[in-house]
Amino acid sequence: MRFDTVIIGGGLSGLVAGIDLVRKGQKCLIVSSGQSALHFFSGSFELCNKENDPMKAIASLDACHPYSKLGAERVEALAARVKPFFAELGLNFKGDASANHWRMTPLGVMKRAWLTLDEYATFESETEMPWKKVSVLNIDGFLDFHTSYIAAALEAKGVEVAVASLSAPQFDKLRESPTEMRSTNISKTIIGEFVDALAEQINGKVTGSDAVLMPAVAGLTGTAEVERLKELVKVPFHFLPTLPPSTPGIRIQMMLKKYFQQQGGVYMLGDSVTEGRFEDGKLKSIKTLNNEDTEFEADNFILATGSFFSKGIVASQNGVAEPVFGLDVDADSDRTNWYQRNMFDAQPYMTFGVATDEEFRAKKDGRPVVNLYVVGSVLSGFNAIKDGCGAGVSILTSLNAADQIMNL
């Protein structure tokens, strides 16, 4: 089978690249082995959260960082395209690249963010809150959202907090087993007429509050339930992130995948690439585990397999490797240099990844594979946690790869 572009990896990076290419008329295939990091989505994307001004922070990054390879002007231009990109899919974010805003984690810690879903609470200041009194509500029996941490964090900033729980027969069956009381399962019950009933119950618990904060447990398949709650609740209504799995993250994954397929893209879920055929410095075709007798040929390929978490990079006693094509990796050969003993220090292994040239083309045996582009967290040269740039690198390098393929 022949395609214009084959993308290996169906997470955020792969889908962004795939959508951008099919919008421009390309015939694309995505090969996805399964769950992506979007299942752990916080509700926010980071561009670079080391400082309030992300572009200023980007200017100080190491030369090997993907942003440095792109250049500051290119980063800024690509970043400006991201909100409209998602808005066209029905995913609305607030924020921009000119200044980071603040978000609250499930443990009440304030962190900088670039873009945050509209239904989430965001803050202009780390210390000053926009409310005098707020209601923090949880689902009775839901253990992945800790109101005590949230309340303590808000009270430390001078906010009066009222904590309450919501209960309903729809939640009772889930409550029988703690393993079933997860955000995604709760969201499957918050549909139809129950949305109105839940809003009425919320209204009974928020009298005198300036706003209500709840765990993000609604809107698994779309935003209709969230919009309905915002319409019916009588005070400003905001979500806060939960511990994984992430209901909004899974929604984003589903919406991106659906849009890609609606535009004519082919998405092979539950499959993985087993080998590639190289000729004259180019990748000509791939074979997959579930289609071992079929060669998938393409003019261009994109590697978006993720880092260690997604097994895009693997480590063994003998070193670090890229397992699909045996590409070159940037990694220290001495295992004792892979980590720092203090777990809160920047860990060197986080920067390991596939070696690329200045155009993000993968290197194999020291030479670039001229039609194999590398995007997202499988790239080397950056620490997504230390630099606070994981989502930004994933999205911007994917848009950049699509532009390169289209010669834009």
Q: At residue 35, does pLDDT exceed 80?
A: no
Can you tell me the distance from the alpha carbon of 246 to that of 217, in angstroms, rounded to the nearest whole number? 8
Distance CA 350, CA 315 (A): 12
Q: What is the pLDDT of residue 10?
A: 95
- The pTM of this model reads 0.94
- How far apart CA 49 and CA 56 sit, in angstroms, is 10
In degrees and rounded to multiples of 5, residue 50 shows phi and psi of: -70, -25
Using CA atoms, how far apart are residues 82 and 93, in angstroms rounded to an integer? Answer: 9
Query: Is the pLDDT at 308 greater than 70, yes or no?
Result: yes
Q: Are strands 93-94 and 266-269 parallel, antiparallel or unpaired?
A: unpaired
pLDDT per residue over 42-52, tens digit each? 999 999 999 99
CA atoms within 13 A on the CB side of 26: 25
**pLDDT tens, residue by residue, 96-111:** 999 999 999 999 999 9
- The whole-angstrom separation of Cα 259 and Cα 239 is 25
Distance CA 145, CA 164 (A): 13
Q: What is the pLDDT of residues 251-287, one digit of tens each?
A: 999 999 999 999 999 999 999 999 999 999 999 999 9
Q: How many helices (H) and strands (E) does the chain have?
A: 13, 21
197 vs 36: which has the higher pLDDT? 197
Q: Please write the tens of the pLDDT for every residue from 213-241.
A: 999 999 999 999 999 999 999 999 999 99
Higher-pLDDT residue of 340 and 215 is: 215
**Nearest by Cα to 12 from 250, 173, 200, 242:** 250
Strands (E), 60-105: 93-94, 101-104
Beta carbons of 355 and 321 less than 8 angstroms apart: no
Is residue 7 a contact partner of residue 301, using CB atoms and an 8 Å limit?
A: yes
SS3 state of residue 353: strand
Q: Please report the domains of the chain, with CATH numbers, ordered by start residue.
A: 2-93+251-268+294-405 (3.50.50.60), 121-240 (3.40.50)
Instruction: Return phi, psi of residue 335, to 5°.
Output: -60, -30
